[in-house]
């Protein structure tokens, strides 16, 4: 997925956000540092911030949504 194809309005992202990803349940998150992959979600790697952005339909292909945005 490219940052241009993300269903996220880039103007609403925090200035520190460098990564965006969707969890299996459809929740989109922004991360300051590249997140780690869990069983059904992404999670911060002990450094940097993260913030919930929005929720959309659950995604069976959620692992392919991790995208560097800046």
- Domain assignments of the chain as residue spans, ordered by start: 14-68
pLDDT at position 70 is: 78
Sheet holding 19-22, edge to edge: 50-55, 27-31, 19-22, 67-68
**pLDDT < 50 stretches in the chain:** none
pLDDT at position 35 is: 96
pTM: 0.88
pLDDT at position 17 is: 95
pLDDT at position 43 is: 93
pLDDT at position 7 is: 77
Give the separation between CA 5 and CA 37, rounded to whole angstroms. Answer: 21
């Amino acid at each position: 997925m490219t940052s241009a194809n993300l269903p996220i309005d880039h103007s609403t992202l925090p200035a520190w956000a460098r990564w965006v990803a969707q969890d299996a349940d459809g929740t989109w998150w922004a991360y300051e540092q590249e997140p780690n992959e869990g069983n059904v979600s992404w999670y911060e790697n002990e450094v940097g911030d993260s913030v919930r952005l929005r929720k959309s339909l659950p995604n069976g292909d959620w692992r392919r949504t991790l995208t560097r945005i800046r």
